[in-house]
Structure 1
Amino acid sequence: MSSATGKLDKVLARTRQRIEEGDYYEAHQATRTVVARYVRTKQYDEAIKLLVHTAELLAKANESSSACDLILYLLDVYRKAGTSPTSAAKGELVQLVNQLNAGKEPLVKKIAAEAIQWSGSDSELHHVFGSKFARESAPDTYEAERHLLQGTRESPRVLATMLYTWATGPGTDADSKDKNNSTLLKESAADVAAGLPLYLSRGVLGYLSAGNVRDARGVLQTFIEYVVAEHASNSALGQRLDYDRQEGSGSAVYVFKEVPLLNFLQLLVPTVQSKSPEMYNRLKARYAALIDGLDAWKSVLAGIAELYCGIAPPRPQMNMLQDLLGSFMSGGGAGAIKN
């Protein structure tokens, strides 16, 4: 055993003893002091081992703020040491992150941002953090969505589960309403059903906008599976949704009479895959009356149409007054003012 290894082992043992005795602050501060010394002398391996060791013990002791601080320090040492995002390095980080409660510790968001920057936007880390934010008892849906849209092939199922739970969970779930008021129950159930495509679109349109047809299909398939299952059990939607299962080229399409925008999203994926402007325009025209009322979809769909089908987005139309003012300012046209 080398002298350096022996010294590190003593530091690790002393750190463990402090934490077991409940002296968390001293363990945290002593670790930072020793790590700073290691970094100054470029003993990066020792610094990393000590940070991982102490952060893990603090996380297990529910000292999450101190653990998060040391994980951020670990990422800083990774950068200074030139540590690449290898499976081993990412594994150390993931093991620590999985012991944290993202819903209660705000520093987890900062860890996610720093880790993604260090790794060059690694898809596996996006999946880990997205899943972490999605599966907490109080999910951070926006953070989860942002990461899962850049994740791995496993991410669409996690995203679909979160979006469906979000769509039908407390606050929107008809079963959580006043069951003595049948009118309220009926309206709430209808609202839940009508909102399903709005939640699903966050995944489908998000993946398509990123050029990711595979995962758009994945989030769509899982979400629709939940809807069909709830149709049978009638537990979350609060109403039965009539549908027809139609076999398409490669996959089935579930046609919902009461929720036509679910049909649109299912048809959108194979349509953009065809790269046919004619097919896209026919699909959009068929659902135009519904889509025109969704301002949030318009620019996204325009971008998707251009990306896959080469359809240039419509130019914004100026009104007559704007046209006239433009003519005056340019000094041209029959109506231009002359001196």
Structure 2
Amino acid sequence: MSRERPKRGTLPPAQENIEKLQKVVEEGNYYGAQQMYKSISARYVSAQRYSESLDILQSGACIQLKHGQITCGAELAVLFVETLVKGKIPYDSETLDRVRKIYKMFPQIPLPQHLPDDDEMQQISEALGAAKIRVEGCSSFLKAAMKWSVEFGAHRSGSPELHVMLAEYIYSESPEVDMARVSYHFVRGNSPKKFASVLVNFMEKCYPGEDDLAIARAILMYLSLGNLRDANYLMDEIKKQVESKQLDFPQSDLIQFIIYLLQTLQRDAVPLFNMLRASYKTSIEREPVFNELLDEIAWKFYQVRRKNPMQGVFGDIFKMMGGE
């Protein structure tokens, strides 16, 4: 006697579709599988069977990424997050782990170095293009996940764990690293130790004069959020790691300003804070956003309101940087 078939219009258990679609991907029909993942998962959403739709989309994102189909995998990863929102799935450690599993499937591929001839230049060009696609795909997914986390129970800046994931991926995979963008996410994360490691790694390969800017930016960004604890921890950890690697810690007026600033903010010393800003004005102006961050620090620590009519301009730039 044949097994009874599901009635027309009813949906089978998700696992049946997961296994069927996995075979389509493994046969190399990536585009066909992609359309099926999208249409089949949508049917489960329409039936309000969100959990099964999530299972299908997570499986699809992971297997497409495993096969190097970054655009397809990233699209399904974003659909996974959109389904979390539609299903009103709360932010918790279990769901965060599901997001992390998809994130870990995004490839991490070292960019080729020192390839001189024309054929190899073509390889470099292709590798850079592929890296850009990886970073854009992973960023779209994690930024969507951050918005979900804000709406459904995480910190108002988004899940700290998600910020760390994005910061690490941008740093390791971007063809041209934007340390301001990396720092934006690390300071909203929960791992100043990892941040210190990234900064020390950057110091080993950056151009002269970029190392102290990167450290100062990181410290000021922590402080602009009112986070003196992690700012101090970061500075101490950088010094510790630099010493263990037998590197030179940058010595500059800007670094001296940052050291004095960290000491000043531990007490109620508005006049000293203002005197420091005036004394190190030239160093501070090496990067335009530093004055904006210091205005925010003055408000956070001393309730000194901004006097600048252009207030918020650079803050808006940082929001754009974080994809808000």
Question: Sequence identity of aligned pairs in percent?
Answer: 22
Q: Number of matched residues?
A: 269
Counterpart AA for 2:230:
D
Q: Distance in 2 between matches of 1:140 and 1:19?
A: 35
Measure how far apart 1:117 and its partner are. 0.7
Q: Structure 1 117/315 Cα, relative in aligned 2: closer, same or farther at 3 Å?
A: closer
Farther-moved stretch of structure 1 (10-19 vs 43-52): 10-19
In structure 2, the partner of 1:123 is: 160
Q: Distance in 1 between matches of 2:174 and 2:308?
A: 45
Q: Structure 1 87/7 Cα, relative in aligned 2: closer, same or farther at 3 Å?
A: same
Q: Structure 1 144/299 Cα, relative in aligned 2: closer, same or farther at 3 Å?
A: closer
- What is the TM-score with the length of structure 2 in the denominator? 0.73
The answer to whether residue 79 in structure 2 is matched with residue 73 in structure 1 is yes
Q: Distance in 1 between matches of 2:180 and 2:287?
A: 20
- What is the TM-score with the length of structure 1 in the denominator? 0.70
Measure how far apart 1:167 and its partner are. 4.0
In structure 2, the partner of 1:186 is: none
The answer to whether residue 212 in structure 2 is matched with residue 197 in structure 1 is yes
Question: SS at the partner of 2:265?
Answer: helix
- CA displacement 1:152-180 (0-9 Å, x = unmatched): 1x1x233333334334415x1xxxxxxxx
In structure 1, the partner of 2:197 is: 161
Farther-moved stretch of structure 1 (203-212 vs 109-118): 109-118
The answer to whether residue 318 in structure 2 is matched with residue 303 in structure 1 is no
The answer to whether residue 144 in structure 2 is matched with residue 114 in structure 1 is yes
In structure 2, the partner of 1:150 is: 188
Match of 1:41 among 22, 47, 56: 47
Could you tell me whether the CA contact under 8 Å between 1:160 and 1:200 is conserved in 2? Answer: no
- CA displacement 1:61-105 (0-9 Å, x = unmatched): 111111111111111111111111111111111110121147442
Measure how far apart 1:227 and its partner are. 4.2
In structure 2, the partner of 1:208 is: 223
In structure 2, the partner of 1:27 is: 33
Is the radius of gyration larger for structure 1 or structure 2?
Answer: 1
Question: SS at the partner of 1:274?
Answer: coil
Measure how far apart 1:143 and its partner are. 3.5
| Aligned-residue RMSD, C-alpha | 2.8
The answer to whether residue 228 in structure 2 is matched with residue 222 in structure 1 is no
Q: Distance in 2 between matches of 1:47 and 1:14?
A: 15
Q: Structure 1 292/45 Cα, relative in aligned 2: closer, same or farther at 3 Å?
A: closer
- CA displacement 1:242-268 (0-9 Å, x = unmatched): xxxxxxxxxxxxxx7x52332221221
Q: Structure 1 19/288 Cα, relative in aligned 2: closer, same or farther at 3 Å?
A: closer
Question: SS at the partner of 1:94?
Answer: helix
In structure 2, the partner of 1:328 is: none
Q: Structure 1 11/275 Cα, relative in aligned 2: closer, same or farther at 3 Å?
A: same
